């Protein structure tokens, strides 16, 4: 299902020299736009041009339910998943507000919610199953379900017109799935992968840790990335992994949100390491495992605003920074154009 | 000239309870929008309402020259000040790009550039003098000049239609002035106040430090904030101080940029401490003294993007975050509206 993929690194030396020259000749002290300069060069590399253009930005929010909620690992009831999907469709959630503000098209996908929505305006139905199984007892997905979710994710991306794609998710219980994926794929102790999610108490966090540790022991033989995804992941997570792989293959700019989105990327990066060249890490979540997960990926987030909401909110909020990077590269005058004197020795 | 000012704290307990209630009932886990929640409450307090509105945002870029450049403290020649003003007028600088992108009106003010621009479209002439004197030899401004600059700053704000104002500056040599102000007003050692500015070498930074230390010894008796401003500041810095005081008095949201803008605010905060309630600290600059200066003000910046460009670029870049804070407060559904279940005990 993903054997046809080959994501090439986005690191051309000749182009990098061109981009660096363009950036350094803009009317500003060299390096003074900091992270935006690195971002401009990265987007140039992704698009293979020194004059990148951002077109029709979109965010897809993938929603799915998790069997592991039966273990009592979330502060919110499972019904909140479908209720929040309704909220997305009505335009009342945080991601609606931020996507609207920043001119980003929003797509809502039912990847595997335990609820029958019927035909609904604005909802893309890609339900593989009404939620996963409880991974404390058995694998969350079968290999076939996981492959189907990945395939749906890839197809969804093929239908997009733009070249910037943000990822968001909704799924009560999915920080538990993400923490398990993180542990399995990085080797970081479970205790450092789990956090409060939507608002667990310290006792709740300890229980969540024990649930994951027991499940990891139960499924000890599972190690290959796609098997780990099937065993511990969610349908929304697997669909994101597929969408990310397809988006990078198509040389899109990927806007990575918080803890759960990063866990989907972690799987994708184990399958196709060059995918990281296409990713903008929008923010470091306040969910405690996210900082360590970003370290494990050896990447550095742009924002740190103590967000821990998910839905793709960090991706939506970072988009103006991405625009700023592209805009300064395309629109700023050079020292030559503007007849501004360059730096002298001191 | 500023004796008529009284900036009231923006901290009403009753309103805070209203704002917190509104924020906590939005469809998201409590606290999960992190810094944006604090920002939403702050803007509500500034505007004295639970439904704040941002109107006609503007950034004023104040330009001025510095006599202390005669001591060889900058990596760029003094002519860059007026050349960059020309670049602002032509629309080719970073601040033009970012203000345009984010729908912010840009005003360019000649506060004291050592250059005759004549009547120019888009340039507001408020030149108090063609640059300051060299504070290594004598006070940068007379008391009368400093008061005049403050007055101009206040007048400029009275002419604005909006309720959000960002501050930017251009002035070769002004990190030296800002470092001297920081040392005098906080007591932090000069060595911890100086940085590379537009790009000094380590030797250049040491020289800059020595110039400031000698000047501080020369003007040892100067301690009152407005006298310190006159002695070490710049015409653009003094004009910003005046503009900030007037903007806070008018209960505007102040977008504070980097090192030099923060030094103008430091003066304003010594005169009217409650001004800090009106300030959004857009970013922590890569200029090395800025982190310590923000600490001295006991404030926390929103962004950390390794910027060190000035011009108000940080203020322009943070504006979408400010919009996001106001928009989630005004536009998100509540749990009740959206019929989403609230948190259960775990």
pLDDT tens for residues B324-342? 999 999 999 999 999 999 8
Q: Do A340 and B203 touch (CB under 8 A)?
A: no
Q: Do A346 and B74 touch (CB under 8 A)?
A: yes
Find, in chain A, the residue whose alpha carbon is nearest to that of B71. A346
The alpha-carbon gap from A2 to the nearest alpha carbon of chain B, in Å, equals 35
Reply yes or no on whether the pLDDT at B108 is more than 80. yes
The alpha-carbon gap from A339 to the nearest alpha carbon of chain B, in Å, equals 7
Q: Which of B35, B88, B346 to mutate to test the interface with A (most CBs of A within 10 A)?
A: B346
Give the pLDDT band (50/70/90) at residue A173: very high
- Cβ–Cβ < 8 Å for A173, A235: no
Distance CA A253, CA A8 (A): 14
Q: Which residue has the tokens 């103590």?
A: A306
3-class DSSP assignment, residue B84 = helix
Q: Do A101 and B323 touch (CB under 8 A)?
A: yes
Q: Do B93 and A332 touch (CB under 8 A)?
A: yes
pTM, two decimals, is 0.97
Which DSSP string do the residues of B45-59 spell out, in sequence order? HHHTSSS----S-EE
Q: pLDDT for A241-292, tens place per residue? A: 999 999 999 999 999 999 999 999 999 999 999 999 999 999 999 999 999 9
Task: Write the residue in B87, B201, B339 that is nearest to A27 by C-beta.
Answer: B87
**Partners of residue A77 in chain B, C-beta under 8 Å:** 341, 344
**Partners of residue A283 in chain B, C-beta under 8 Å:** none
How much is the average pLDDT of B261-273?
Answer: 98
Strand runs (DSSP E) across A171-287, as ranges? 253-256, 279-281
Alpha helices in B187-279 (DSSP H): 190-193, 202-218, 225-232, 235-249, 259-271
- Cβ–Cβ < 8 Å for A346, B203: yes
Contacts of B232 (CB under 8 A, 6+ apart): B135, B140, B177, B180, B181, B184, B215, B219
Strand runs (DSSP E) across A126-241, as ranges? 164-170
**Partners of residue B29 in chain A, C-beta under 8 Å:** 75-76, 198-199, 308-309
Is the ipTM higher than 0.95? The answer is yes
The alpha-carbon gap from B234 to the nearest alpha carbon of chain A, in Å, equals 21
Distance CA B265, CA B273 (A): 10
**Partners of residue A327 in chain B, C-beta under 8 Å:** 97-98, 100-101
Average confidence score pLDDT of chain A: 97
The alpha-carbon gap from A255 to the nearest alpha carbon of chain B, in Å, equals 17
Task: Write the residue in B30, B90, B308 that is nearest to A32 by C-beta.
Answer: B308
The alpha-carbon gap from A176 to the nearest alpha carbon of chain B, in Å, equals 14
Q: Do A305 and B306 touch (CB under 8 A)?
A: no
Choice among A71, A169, A246, A311 that is catalytic: A311
Q: pLDDT for A38-91, tens place per residue? A: 999 999 999 999 999 999 999 999 999 999 999 999 999 999 999 999 999 999
Task: Write the residue in A92, A198, A328 that is nearest to B97 by C-beta.
Answer: A328
Reply yes or no on whether the pLDDT at A345 is more than 80. no
Reply yes or no on whether the pLDDT at B59 is more than 70. yes
Q: Do B84 and A27 touch (CB under 8 A)?
A: yes
Clarify whether A311 is annotated catalytic: yes
Query: Rounded to whole angstroms, what are the CA distances from A305 to A99, A134, A191, A231, B36?
Result: 17, 33, 24, 32, 7
Q: Which residue has the tokens 């404390």?
A: A136
Q: Which of A38, A79, A259, A305 to mutate to test the interface with B (most CBs of B within 10 A)?
A: A305
Determine the pLDDT at residue A344. Answer: 78
User: Active-site positions of B?
Assistant: 311
Give the pLDDT band (50/70/90) at residue B346: low
Half-sphere exposure of B6 (CA within 13 A, CB side): 2
Distance CA B269, CA A80 (A): 46
Determine the pLDDT at residue A72. Answer: 95
Percent of chain B whose predicted confidence (pLDDT) is above 70: 99
Q: pLDDT for B64-86, tens place per residue? A: 999 999 999 999 999 999 999 99
Q: Do A333 and B92 touch (CB under 8 A)?
A: yes
Half-sphere exposure of B23 (CA within 13 A, CB side): 25
Give the pLDDT band (50/70/90) at residue B3: confident
Extract the tokens encoding A121: 């305006």
């Amino acid at each position: 299902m993903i054997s046809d993929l080959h994501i090439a690194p986005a690191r051309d030396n000749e182009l990098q020299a061109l981009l660096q020259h363009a950036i350094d000749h803009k009317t500003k002290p060299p390096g003074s736009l900091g992270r935006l300069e690195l971002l401009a060069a990265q987007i140039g590399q992704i698009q293979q041009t020194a004059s990148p253009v951002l077109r029709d930005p979109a965010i897809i929010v993938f929603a799915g339910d998790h069997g592991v909620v039966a273990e009592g690992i979330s502060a919110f009831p499972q019904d909140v998943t479908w209720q929040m999907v309704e909220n997305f469709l009505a335009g009342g959630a945080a991601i609606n507000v931020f996507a609207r503000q920043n001119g980003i098209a929003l797509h809502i996908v039912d990847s595997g919610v335990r609820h029958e929505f019927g035909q609904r305006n604005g909802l893309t139905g890609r339900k593989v199953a009404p939620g996963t199984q409880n991974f404390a007892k058995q694998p969350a997905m079968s290999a076939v379900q996981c492959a189907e979710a990945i395939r749906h994710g890839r197809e969804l991306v093929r239908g997009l017109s733009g070249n910037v794609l943000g990822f968001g998710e909704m799924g009560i219980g999915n920080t538990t799935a993400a923490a398990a994926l993180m542990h399995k794929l990085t080797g970081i102790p479970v205790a450092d992968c789990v956090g409060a999610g939507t608002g667990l108490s310290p006792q709740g966090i300890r229980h969540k840790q024990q649930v994951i540790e027991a499940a990891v022991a139960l499924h000890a033989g599972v190690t290959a990335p796609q098997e780990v995804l099937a065993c511990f992941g969610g349908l929304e997570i697997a669909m994101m992994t597929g969408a990310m792989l397809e988006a990078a293959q198509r040389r899109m700019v990927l806007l990575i949100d918080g803890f759960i989105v990063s866990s989907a990327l972690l799987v994708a990066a184990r399958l196709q390491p060059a995918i990281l060249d296409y990713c903008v890490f929008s923010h470091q979540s306040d969910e405690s495992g996210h900082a360590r997960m970003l370290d494990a990926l050896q990447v550095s987030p742009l924002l740190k605003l103590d967000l821990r909401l998910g839905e793709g909110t960090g991706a939506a909020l970072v988009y103006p920074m991405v625009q700023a990077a592209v805009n300064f590269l395309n629109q700023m005058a050079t020292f030559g154009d503007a007849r501004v004197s360059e730096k002298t020795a001191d």
